[in-house]
A and B are shown apart, each in its own frame.
Chain A
């Protein structure tokens, strides 16, 4: 079970770190000053969650790797994050939609994980679920405001809905790792969160005057196996530059 738990913690940490990095790219570029505070705040939450998860993953692995080694010294194919979180920011509508799709899922995941039989994971979840509530509210409010806004904002939101929907199937993907850990009561079964996610998204889209995408939309996969989009290498180059250029540096 140790191997599976390490793998799952890594996936989860990679999701939060990669999305945290993407969201942090808005720092200094957000459309309003309030958003310039909000987005880095959200990025901080995500990176903070990633740090707790990497630290714990390192302990479970037992090979002496710490959070920094796990974040900075792994190659692209060793990253097992969802494809959704590595998608480029695009316009503000795409960033908001990515936040909505992901945080509605994570809110449910963290809430269920607070009941985990693994005490450390339950403690991390108890903290993260409170943060996720704010992330969902932020994304939902913008989705409604922009979806039900001007002609241009509505068009951009509708484009984002369709652009990103094909990366959401991966959220609910199960494999031997999730099956084993879910059966042991350590993590929620992601597939079991599908109905709630569909309902919440449909409710928000209805209010935002946005159409639900076709559920038969072809879905991309591969993130959990380390098969990424071409943008991932650039993201890591940016994220890991300091440790690669000056190994072991601290400040």
Chain B
């Protein structure tokens, strides 16, 4: 039998999740931290505190702290006492980015991640990345490292547009 208290907690949890999940990524604001799989879970603990579990994308991603603060603020604004826990395991992977979020990235002008390559020797860009502007796969990698740790820098050889590619990890 489900007790009222348990029901309340489930309700609160859903409400807390909703508040935290709506936080946009500070560097890729077209998607939320939930879309990207950075927000792992939100639970209400025995003291009624909303505990959000957040995982960094890269070890040194400067946005990690900004994301943690934004999630905490969103939870407080929704009326919760909040605590953030940073979780390292399992390690974040681009596989957690769902199809809808991938579409949002493409519309925003960022090529979404292709299947992850675990190879250390895939020389000179074996991944075929489609240009988010014209859809051509006649693209060239300019640099493995783009404007943020999670992105690489590409150029479309057909429409000549430079663009970011969300790296697979």
B is bound to A = yes
Output the least CB separation between B16 and chain A (Å).
25
Output the least CB separation between B53 and chain A (Å).
13
Q: Does A126 contact B (CB under 8 A)?
A: yes
Q: Does A78 contact B (CB under 8 A)?
A: no
Q: Assuming A48-B61, A119-B89, is B120 touching A137 (CB within 8 A)? A: yes
Residues A133 and B118 in contact, CB atoms below 8 Å apart: yes
Output the least CB separation between B154 and chain A (Å).
11
Chain B count of residues within 8 A CB distance of the other chain: 29
Output the least CB separation between B41 and chain A (Å).
17
| Cβ < 8 Å to B, chain A residues 2-52 | 34-35, 37-38, 41-49, 51-52
CB closest residue in chain A, given B152: A134
Q: Assuming A34-B153, A137-B122, A141-B124, is B142 touching A126 (CB within 8 A)? A: no
Output the least CB separation between A4 and chain B (Å).
22
Chain A count of residues within 8 A CB distance of the other chain: 39
Residues A126 and B143 in contact, CB atoms below 8 Å apart: no
Residues A49 and B59 in contact, CB atoms below 8 Å apart: yes
CB closest residue in chain A, given B118: A133
Residues A126 and B90 in contact, CB atoms below 8 Å apart: yes
Contact with B along A140-151 (1 / 0, CB 8 A): 110010000000
Task: Give the residues in chain B near A52, CB-CB below 8 Å.
Answer: 59, 88
Q: Does A77 contact B (CB under 8 A)?
A: no
| Cβ < 8 Å to A, chain B residues 39-71 | 56, 58-62
Output the least CB separation between B148 and chain A (Å).
8
Residues B59 and A37 in contact, CB atoms below 8 Å apart: no
Task: Give the residues in chain B near A51, CB-CB below 8 Å.
Answer: 59-60
Q: What CA separation (Å) do A209 and B62 show in the bound complex? A: 38
Residues B122 and A123 in contact, CB atoms below 8 Å apart: no
| Cβ < 8 Å to A, chain B residues 72-96 | 88-93
Partner of B58, one of A48, A122, A137, A141: A48
Residues B123 and A123 in contact, CB atoms below 8 Å apart: no
Task: Give the residues in chain A near B120, CB-CB below 8 Å.
Answer: 104, 107, 132-133, 136-137, 140, 200
CB closest residue in chain A, given B153: A34
Contact with A along B143-154 (1 / 0, CB 8 A): 111110100010
CB closest residue in chain A, given B117: A133
Residues A45 and B58 in contact, CB atoms below 8 Å apart: yes
Q: Does A71 contact B (CB under 8 A)?
A: no
Task: Give the residues in chain B near A48, CB-CB below 8 Å.
Answer: 56, 58-61
Residues B145 and A38 in contact, CB atoms below 8 Å apart: yes
Q: Does B101 contact A (CB under 8 A)?
A: no
Q: Assuming A127-B59, A133-B118, is B143 touching A37 (CB within 8 A)? A: yes
Partner of A131, one of B59, B88, B121: B59
Residues A34 and B142 in contact, CB atoms below 8 Å apart: yes
Q: Does B3 contact A (CB under 8 A)?
A: no
CB closest residue in chain B, given A128: B59
Residues B145 and A127 in contact, CB atoms below 8 Å apart: no
Q: What CA separation (Å) do A46 and B59 show in the bound complex? A: 8
Q: Which of B56, B119, B144, B169 has the most CB of A within 10 A?
A: B144
Task: Give the residues in chain B near A156, CB-CB below 8 Å.
Answer: none
Task: Give the residues in chain B near A104, CB-CB below 8 Å.
Answer: 120
Task: Give the residues in chain A near B89, CB-CB below 8 Å.
Answer: 119, 122-123, 126
CB closest residue in chain A, given B150: A41
Q: What CA separation (Å) do A134 and B149 show in the bound complex? A: 11
- List chain B positions with a Cβ less than 8 A from chain A: 56, 58-62, 88-93, 118-124, 142-147, 149, 153, 167, 169
- List chain A positions with a Cβ less than 8 A from chain B: 34-35, 37-38, 41-49, 51-52, 104, 107, 119-120, 122-124, 126-128, 130-134, 136-138, 140-141, 144, 200, 203-204
